[in-house]
């Protein structure tokens, strides 16, 4: 008898455990908060909607589970009945609420349950937080914070049950079908959604323009200063002709000084000549150059014949 009772308890625990695991295979898969051109209900009305998906490969009945958009249910001090009063129950709809492997279920939000088993009264107000609770009204199965969406776009998982969420364009929404798509929200549409008033775009454009103007100012400023400096040097050499010769002499002295420094530092390369001789030669060359003390040549070469014994041969 005791063995039979013990076996029954184990069986009951196994059933409850498998049921609990089955509930956690149900996920919120896609949400549309503003519907003007998407799917319609049985009354041809455009309503906000959400999609559930069974991510497992077994069947699970979602009837009796709860949907809510009220964050007050997160209060741990609430009892199950108090929390249930803040939520919308998923009614029994036979085959539709019995989700087979990888099957989807679309539920309409901000509606009235009297319209049908797929209509829930959960309101849709931004910022939207959407949660799925188990039938006991205590266990949070899944939740998602939905960003502001443009009309007819959805916030959906990239794949069914995946952790990554994306914003899907109106032509890429997938109600009651698998979520995997290759067309997502364009960059222009994302920019419009993130910056509806164009403030960020205006600041970015003005920043680029001012940066370019500042760069042009620096370029023209530096080039103008350089040209002005060249002009001053040119004017000074014109008004003082001897200034140019002084500048050239200064350059020559600087070059000679550099060479002298190199000789003193490294030593002369020619054997048998002392440093003092090099210094004396350089000093004499500088003296003759600066004082114009060198000999003036006539540039005429005179060759005088000289008679030797070879001259008489012949």
46 and 30 within one domain: yes
Q: Is the peptide bond before 127 cis (omega within 30 degrees of 0)?
A: yes
Q: Which of 137, 161, 193 is the last residue of a domain?
A: 193
Identify whether 9 is part of a domain: no
Number of structural domains found in the chain: 3
Within this chain, do residues 89 and 165 fall inside the same structural domain, yes or no? yes
Q: Name residue 30's beta-bridge partners.
A: 51, 156
pTM of the full predicted structure? 0.54
Per-residue pLDDT of the chain (314 residues; tens, 9 = 90+): 555 554 555 444 444 444 446 899 999 999 999 999 999 999 999 999 999 999 999 999 999 999 999 999 999 999 999 999 999 999 988 788 999 999 999 999 999 999 999 999 999 998 999 999 999 999 999 999 999 999 999 999 999 989 999 999 998 999 999 887 554 556 776 777 677 778 888 888 899 999 999 999 999 989 888 888 888 877 776 776 666 666 677 777 777 777 667 666 655 555 445 667 767 777 777 777 777 665 666 666 677 777 777 766 65
Cross-sheet strand order for the sheet of 88-89:
88-89, 66-68, 128-133, 140-146
Q: Which whole-number Å values give the CA distances from 83 to 73, 79, 107, 223, in the listed order?
A: 5, 6, 20, 75
Q: And the tokens for 150?
A: 């443009």
Q: Among 193, 228, 262, which residue terminates a domain?
A: 193
Angle formed at CA 287 by CA 286 and CA 291, multiple of 5 degrees:
120
In terms of domains, do 172 and 45 share one?
Answer: yes
Let me know whether 117 and 103 are in one domain: yes
- Tell whether 305 is covered by a domain: no
Count of CB atoms situated within 10 Å of the CB of 234: 10
| CATH number of the CATH domain containing 123 | 2.60.40.1260
Domain span at residue 232? 195-239
Nearest alpha carbon to residue 52 among 151, 149, 164, 143: 143
297, two tokens: 């040549």
- The position carrying tokens 């970015």 is 204
Q: Are residues 91 and 151 in the same domain?
A: yes
**Same domain flag for 199 and 255:** no
DSSP designation for 182 = S
Residue where one domain finishes, among candidates 132, 165, 193: 193
Cβ burial 88-122 (10 Å sphere, 16+ → b, else e)? bbbeeeeebbbbeeeebbbbbbbbeeeeeebbbeb
Residue 303 lies in a domain: no
Cα 58 to Cα 26: distance, rounded to the nearest angstrom: 11
Within this chain, do residues 202 and 189 fall inside the same structural domain, yes or no? Answer: no
Residue 176 shares a structural domain with residue 206: no
Q: What is the 3-state secondary structure (H, E, C) of 63-90?
A: CCCEEECCHHHHCCCCCHHHHHCCCEEC
Q: Which residues pair with 31 in a beta bridge?
A: 50, 155
Can you tell me the distance from the alpha carbon of 40 to that of 47, in angstroms, rounded to the nearest whole number? 7
160 contacts 29 by C-beta, under 8 angstroms: yes
169/189 Cα distance (integer angstroms): 8
Residue linked to tokens 């492997």? 101
Q: What is the pLDDT of residue 96?
A: 87
Q: Give domain status of residue 3, yes or no.
A: no
Measured from the Cβ of residue 239, the count of other Cβ atoms closer than 10 Å reads 8
Residues 223, 228: Cα–Cα separation, whole Å: 9
How many helices (H) and strands (E) would you count in the chain? 6, 11
Query: Is residue 302, in this structure, part of any structural domain at all?
Result: no
- Cβ atoms of 181 and 154 within 8 Å: the answer is no
Indicate whether 18 and 160 sit together in one domain.
yes
Instruction: Compute the distance between CA of residue 68 and CA of residue 86 in angstroms, rounded to an integer.
Output: 7
Does 139 share its domain with 112?
yes
* Residues 49, 34: Cα–Cα separation, whole Å: 9
In a domain, 5, yes or no: no
Structural domain includes residue 312: no
Q: Is residue 50 assigned to a domain?
A: yes
- 202 in the same domain as 149: no
81 and 217 fall within a common domain: no
Cα of first residue to Cα of last residue in the chain, in angstroms, is: 160
């Amino acid at each position: 008898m005791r063995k039979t009772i013990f076996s029954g308890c184990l069986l009951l625990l196994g059933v409850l455990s498998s049921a609990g695991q089955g509930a956690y295979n149900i996920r919120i898969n896609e949400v549309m908060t503003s519907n003007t051109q998407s799917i319609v209900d049985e009354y041809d009305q455009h309503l906000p909607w959400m999609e559930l998906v069974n991510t497992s490969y077994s069947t699970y009945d979602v009837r009796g589970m709860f949907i809510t958009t009220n964050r007050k249910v997160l209060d741990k001090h609430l009892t199950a009945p108090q929390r249930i009063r803040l939520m919308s129950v998923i009614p029994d709809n036979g085959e539709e609420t019995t989700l087979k492997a990888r099957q989807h279920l679309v539920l309409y939000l901000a509606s009235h349950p009297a319209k049908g088993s797929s209509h829930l009264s959960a309101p849709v107000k931004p910022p939207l937080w959407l949660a799925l609770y188990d039938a006991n009204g205590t266990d949070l199965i899944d939740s998602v914070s939905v960003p502001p969406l443009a009309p007819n776009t959805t916030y959906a998982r990239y794949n069914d049950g995946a952790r990554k969420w994306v914003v899907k364009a109106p032509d890429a929404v997938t109600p009651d079908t698998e979520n995997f798509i290759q067309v997502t929200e364009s960059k222009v549409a994302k920019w419009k959604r993130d910056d509806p008033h164009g403030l960020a775009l205006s600041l970015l454009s003005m920043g680029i323009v001012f940066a370019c103007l500042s760069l042009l100012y620096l370029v023209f400023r530096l080039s103008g200063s350089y040209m002005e400096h060249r002009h001053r040097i040119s004017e000074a050499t014109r008004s003082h002709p001897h200034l140019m010769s002084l500048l050239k002499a200064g350059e020559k002295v600087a070059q000679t000084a550099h060479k002298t420094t190199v000789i003193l530092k490294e030593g002369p390369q020619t054997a048998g000549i002392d440093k003092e001789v090099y210094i004396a030669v350089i000093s004499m060359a500088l003296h003759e150059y600066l004082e114009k003390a060198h000999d003036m040549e006539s540039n005429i070469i005179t060759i005088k014949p000289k008679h030797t014994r070879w001259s008489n041969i012949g």
